[in-house]
Amino acid sequence: MSEVQGCGDAQAAAGAAARDRLAAAWPERVRVYEGPVGDAVRRAFGECERLVCFLATGAVVRLVAPLLGDKASDPGIVCVDEAGRFAVSLVGGHGGGANDLAREVGAVLGAEPVVTTATDAVDLPGLDTLGLPVEGDVAGVTRALLDGEPVALAAETAWPLPPLPVGTEGRYTLRVTDRAVEPAGREAVLRPPTLVVGVGASRDVPAEEVLELIGAALRDAGLSPASVAELATVDAKAGEPGLVAAAERLGVPLVAHPADELAAVDVPNPSGAPLAAVGTPSVAEAAALVRGGELLVPKRKSERADGRPAMATCAVARRAARGRLAVVGLGPGARDLLTPRAREELRRASVLVGLDQYVDQIRDLLRPGTRILESGLGAEEERARTAVAEAGKGQAVALIGSGDAGVYAMASPALAEASGDIDVVGVPGVTAALAAGAVLGAPLGHDHVSISLSDLHTPWEVIERRVRAAAEADLVVTFYNPRSRGRDWQLPKALAVLAEHREPTTPVGVVRNASRADESSRLTTLADLDPATVDMMTVVTVGNTATREIAGRMVTPRGYRWQKEPE
């Protein structure tokens, strides 16, 4: 099924050109409908998940109005004007994906996305966009959030949610639970996927028997089927048709684990029968617990009306919520060098941890309700521990650093603290060395190395050994943290080491506050560089023996054969 459909008035050449650009950009996603526009729209409405119509919004409204059913089943529809100036999310903003599609279309065509959904307009995550089943007074709770009315968060089960302006009290409630509770008045209930149902089965078990067993187990335990994340079993049963069909009917994956892995799980009710049959003393309980968690429903067998032996077993476990830690590089400072992925992670995080001056750089990008934990210089380890601890509570956390968070920044101390019970995502950023290199020309065109001259955490003897090795290897060297008020001798010493292997005329690039409003740069030589003009906001790049100044730019040749002088 095509994800996107494009149709347009055959008489509108500009619309057809934009349609063709979209089709070229997304060849696997686009199906173009030709012919009379009314027929094309009707056919596309019934065949596609999302539509892009290169027509006036009024025309599209008249065409699709008789076709609309409800927002849960209607396709998302985006209108693009003939001039390609706007991509308007018309129908199915959330459920149909039209809001996201409008932004995607806008990015391809250079059009302004127009999204009028209330939550999107004020940058509030819609409750129906969180990827979780939601029930109850969704509209009422959403309206309260939009109006700034206090909404209480009742999180019976921890789950990493995006930032929401919720508190501990309010007339409206947002409940997060995997229990089978009916929503109260003025309450919306989110169902996180916390439940793992372990299943064992005999050959040719009917899917109905498996489903009846699972349904009864959940009902008796007061658990919601909407929170079932997966069915789990032993690998010998991965292709059992009854289990496969049961998982499909429940809309969850069937996950199979090796028998020896299940055999290592401590369970309350081991048995000799599965050990003889598939090589593990437990299938249902072990499969439910193999990834950790709390056993809520011990092994139980199916009941058959004909009195014949049970063909299925099941057990239910609640897995611990895995928090999410995104380590985000903000780039060198310029807003347009902040990557789209970094922006997405900042908007997704409910908790932001970072150095106060870096928080100030991106505070306006955060969604309302984001909890900010900021601290000053010198508290790197404290920030790392705080971010990991918050993620360990099941939160969605962003830990920010300048440049790339993995280069002289927060990724290393954070990952040194993190255990395997949280998900960690690295978001790369443009480094200071790259930003400075772009200002200077192409100094990093061949092999290069970055070395920090700060001896606060690394002994100078180690730093000097690395500088000497880089000098002997004829590598271009970029110095981070080159000089501060309390460290004024390290840069001259490092330059002296390089001078033992480089000519005095070796080009040296000096860039301060690369990419920022007060950026400054200059090109000098190894002999002429005055270390007193360098501070902690400066990046110093020293060329190798092949680096040259060409037309005022610092260039390290790559060494391509076609660049060599003819003999």
DSSP state of 565: P
Q: Give dist(CA 477, CA 143) in Å, integer.
A: 56
pLDDT of residue 563: 57
**Residue that has been written with the tokens 């650093």 in this structure:** 401
**Cross-sheet strand order for the sheet of 553-555:** 441-442, 553-555, 548-550
Half-sphere exposure of residue 464: CA atoms within 13 angstroms, side-chain side: 9
Q: Give dist(CA 240, CA 312) in Å, integer.
A: 12
Q: Which of 370, 362, 443 is nearest to 400 (CA)?
A: 362
pLDDT in tens, 413-442: 999 999 888 999 999 999 999 999 999 999
Q: Give dist(CA 439, CA 418) in Å, integer.
A: 36
How far, rounded to the nearest angstrom, does the alpha carbon of residue 267 sit from its chain's CA centroid?
A: 35
Q: Give dist(CA 350, CA 360) in Å, integer.
A: 17
The answer for residues whose C-beta is within 8 angstroms of residue 551's C-beta and 6 or more apart is none
8 confidence band (pLDDT: 50, 70, 90): very low
CB-based contact 231:243 (threshold 8 Å):
yes
Q: Is the pLDDT of residue 7 over 60?
A: no
Average pLDDT estimate for 39-59: 88
pLDDT in tens, 144-185: 888 889 999 999 988 888 888 888 889 999 999 999 999 999
- Cα→Cα distances 281→213, 258, 310, Å: 21, 13, 17
Q: Which of 31, 137, 429 is nearest to 128 (CA)?
A: 137
As given in the structure block, the two tokens for residue 142 are: 């959403």
pLDDT of residue 121: 66
How far, rounded to the nearest angstrom, does the alpha carbon of residue 481 sit from its chain's CA centroid?
A: 30
34 confidence band (pLDDT: 50, 70, 90): confident
As a residue count, the chain comes to 567
Q: Give dist(CA 340, CA 427) in Å, integer.
A: 10
How far, rounded to the nearest angstrom, does the alpha carbon of residue 29 sit from its chain's CA centroid?
A: 22
pLDDT of residue 9: 44
How far, rounded to the nearest angstrom, does the alpha carbon of residue 253 sit from its chain's CA centroid?
A: 22
Q: Which of 425, 422, 377 is nearest to 402 (CA)?
A: 377
Q: Is the pLDDT of residue 373 over 50?
A: yes
Q: Give dist(CA 161, CA 266) in Å, integer.
A: 32
List the single range of 297-306, 312-321, 348-357, 424-433 with lowest mean pLDDT. Answer: 297-306
How far, rounded to the nearest angstrom, does the alpha carbon of residue 278 sit from its chain's CA centroid?
A: 38
Q: Which of 450, 429, 428 is nearest to 331 (CA)?
A: 429
The answer for residues whose C-beta is within 8 angstroms of residue 276's C-beta and 6 or more apart is none
The answer for residues whose C-beta is within 8 angstroms of residue 271's C-beta and 6 or more apart is 281, 282
Q: Give dist(CA 50, CA 1) in Å, integer.
A: 10
As given in the structure block, the two tokens for residue 517 are: 């409003």
Rounded (to 5) percent helix, strand, coil in the chain: 35, 25, 40
pLDDT in tens, 253-282: 999 999 999 999 999 999 888 787 888 999
86-91/112-114 β-pairing = parallel
The answer for residues whose C-beta is within 8 angstroms of residue 85's C-beta and 6 or more apart is 111, 112
Q: Which of 501, 498, 503, 521 is nearest to 511 (CA)?
A: 521
Catalogue the E-assigned strands of 172-242: 172-176, 187-190, 195-201, 228-234
Phi, psi of 9 (to 5 degrees): -65, 125
pLDDT of residue 1: 35
Q: Which of 435, 444, 440 is nearest to 477 (CA)?
A: 444
Q: Give dist(CA 548, CA 433) in Å, integer.
A: 18
Q: Give dist(CA 380, CA 406) in Å, integer.
A: 13
pLDDT of residue 124: 79
Q: Give dist(CA 119, CA 46) in Å, integer.
A: 28
**Residue that has been written with the tokens 């069909």 in this structure:** 245
Give the mean pLDDT of the chain: 90
Average pLDDT estimate for 55-77: 87
pLDDT of residue 2: 43
pLDDT of residue 203: 92
How far, rounded to the nearest angstrom, does the alpha carbon of residue 83 sit from its chain's CA centroid?
A: 34
pTM of the model: 0.76
List the single range of 362-371, 416-425, 477-486, 554-563 with lowest mean pLDDT. Answer: 554-563
As given in the structure block, the two tokens for residue 371 are: 């909890």
pLDDT in tens, 468-516: 999 999 999 999 999 998 899 999 999 999 999 999 999 999 999 999 9
Average pLDDT estimate for 384-390: 95
pLDDT of residue 561: 62
Q: Which of 326, 4, 313, 331 is nearest to 162 (CA)?
A: 326
Q: Give dist(CA 282, CA 292) in Å, integer.
A: 15
End-to-end CA distance of the chain: 61
CB-based contact 340:388 (threshold 8 Å):
no
Q: Which of 225, 216, 125, 116 is nearest to 180 (CA)?
A: 225
